[in-house]
Chains A and B, each alone.
Chain A
């Protein structure tokens, strides 16, 4: 797997497209700002959301049991899965039990994380993703590049080409309305013939045993209300204690995600409809391990709004695929090292630590501080590249010794002045696209000694 820096460089090679990607996401960030500013209590809401989630994490096991009991009383079947494989197997067993061949799925980052579609495909089951963006990337055999806007890396021309190939739309017609209508027709049929609908869960309410699913397209509802079987997949961290807490989260979620005051549909599921079967799968997949890490546990507060993606100057200019994982962006960079430190040791370094992510986060996750802390873990686990480690060690050695530092500075400045070719070559990553700073004749300290010291 290529590291983030290399994938980012490849992305940026097409500068016009990078600019387009950056501006598109910045536009969403601006819509988010506008929505936040309509509420004078915005910062209070974030504070409440953060405290509710912190409280929930401190009693998570108790709330999960309360949720499970209430859900069972509501006639819902509850399953538990320690990891992605177990989750996928549970889904497959339900499918087999009902001899189902056609499955529709609305957006669920958890199922992406567990690679459910891939697993079911190997078992001969085709899953149709029904979120428009997800359907587009599914046709293209790509993963989503953004957790809220899965096809944000594609232009309408790309979508037009994909739909022409798969849905036989007119070649070259890239009108979003035309393409969306084509997908609507295509997916309506999928909803009607589906034997099973899989949805994600945005919030699971302990006191009622119900769960809330938010969409704009209505695809989760079309699937769940039409199919004879509904499976809702949730991570253990989706729990909130009470119904009244939904007031806080639903006010924050869509405003943070897209700048809308609320998603079009906020559906509250409690019981299966007459004749329907409803399942909930509660999945751990590394979350309890993250909960035990004091420095990183509050990453589990995340409500998957992706505001941190949209604001991140790195994400906007490197695209979702540069993070080589299901959940990209700043939040992905603090979640993924927990799942596999070695594979994702590059991600916490894919940041300037500018802190914008923490500021937009509706549940106040200190994302940039956790990025810093993951760097410490990665270094202590020996996952920093040897060349980089050597460079840092060299710096540390010099900066620990004031006299040596001064000599090194003098030598360095002398070289920059008289032997610039030592630095001004393309192997120096600073020099490749930037001039070196003009060498100062003498240091501040030298000036001070000469001019000021009594």
Chain B
């Protein structure tokens, strides 16, 4: 099984450890992983700003990079969702459609495709899980508080396999952090207020780390935490799942 590793632009630039952990974790689990070198961005920033037509070049670049792999895996629910919902190509609609169906967010890939039941990882800390909206509601990585459905959580299930990790949830289990792409600058006051409220909710659990499936949410929350001089650290879920174990 050949996997194309899709590293979103902001992880590439600002959070390479999340990308490194994703790659190492997949390899540890026996996957053959390639990283196509000319990837840039899924095109979401343009599309969510109303300029989906300006993301066509990103679509084309994405298709060129990820042609011919069995699965595309990414440590981002949001970018995965964008590809799954909006990747189009006029000249090559078949390849675009194939990619839309083979792109997976990391925890979803581990749960649904690799069907991981145990992990050799140890992370002896108290960790708060932030359910990123696009992963949760868009990719259905976990049950949603609005719906009448049986409870489940793909990230939660994986974190439960990590030795020593104490998982906590905030009282509002799936409220948005306020990042929202360009929303974070064009609605700055609201964005920060939403982020502060999430942090306050998590802080009640006295957590050491705040984790999520998306570095974008974490980047926003980290910005606020650091301004507040909070001791709480952020960490991408891939880094926890890839933490060295005892074996």
Contacts and interface: CB of A to CB of B under 8 A. Distances in A.
Interface size class of B (residues with CB under 8 A): 35 or more
A237 B236 CA distance: 46
Contact of A437 (B15, B145, B186): B15
B46 A395 contact: yes
Contacts of B197: 19, 22, 317
A402 B148 contact: no
B40 to A, nearest CB: 4
B227 to A, nearest CB: 5
B193 to A, nearest CB: 5
A356 B9 CA distance: 26
Interface string B127-140: 00000011001100
Contacts of B176: 313, 352, 354, 356
Nearest to A378: B50
A445 B13 CA distance: 9
A449 B37 contact: yes
Contact of A379 (B51, B61, B190, B222): B51
Contacts of B243: none
A268 interface: no
Contacts of B184: 430
Given A311-B146, A399-B43, A435-B223, A352 B178 contact: yes
B71 to A, nearest CB: 18
B220 A434 contact: yes
Nearest to A405: B40
B81 to A, nearest CB: 10
Contacts of B13: 409, 412-413, 440, 443
A434 B149 contact: no
A376 interface: yes
Contact of B219 (A22, A393, A437): A437
A90 B116 CA distance: 67
Interface string B30-62: 000001011111010111111111110110010
Question: Which of A354, A358, A393 counts the most chain B CB atoms within 10 A?
Answer: A354
A402 B61 contact: yes
B148 A351 contact: no
Given A355-B137, A434-B223, A372 B189 contact: no
Contacts of B227: 433-435
Contacts of B35: 445, 448, 452
**Chain A: interface residue count, which band?**
35 or more
Nearest to A6: B189
Interface in B148-175: 148-149, 172, 174-175
A392 interface: yes
Contacts of A4: 187
B54 A392 contact: yes
B23 interface: yes
Nearest to B42: A399
Interface in A385-399: 388-389, 392-393, 395-396, 398-399
Contacts of A39: 148
Contact of B51 (A40, A42, A396): A396
Interface in B177-195: 178-195
A396 B23 CA distance: 27
A353 B180 contact: yes
A430 B14 contact: no
Contacts of A389: 51
Pick from B13, B47, B144, B179 the residue with the most CB of A within 10 Å: B13
A18 B7 CA distance: 37
A375 to B, nearest CB: 4
B148 A42 contact: yes
Contacts of B52: 376
Given A356-B176, A405-B9, A444-B19, A18 B193 contact: yes
23 contacts: A8-B190, A43-B147, A313-B194, A353-B48, A359-B146, A376-B52, A377-B50, A396-B46, A396-B54, A396-B55, A399-B45, A400-B61, A405-B40, A413-B14, A430-B185, A430-B188, A434-B223, A434-B227, A436-B223, A440-B13, A443-B12, A448-B35, A448-B37
Q: A-B pairs with the 10 shortest C-beta distances?
A: A434-B223, A352-B180, A379-B50, A400-B57, A359-B146, A375-B50, A354-B176, A9-B189, A444-B19, A355-B137
Given A42-B148, A359-B137, 15 more contacts: A33-B145, A313-B194, A354-B133, A355-B138, A358-B137, A388-B49, A392-B45, A392-B46, A395-B46, A396-B55, A412-B13, A435-B226, A439-B14, A440-B15, A447-B20
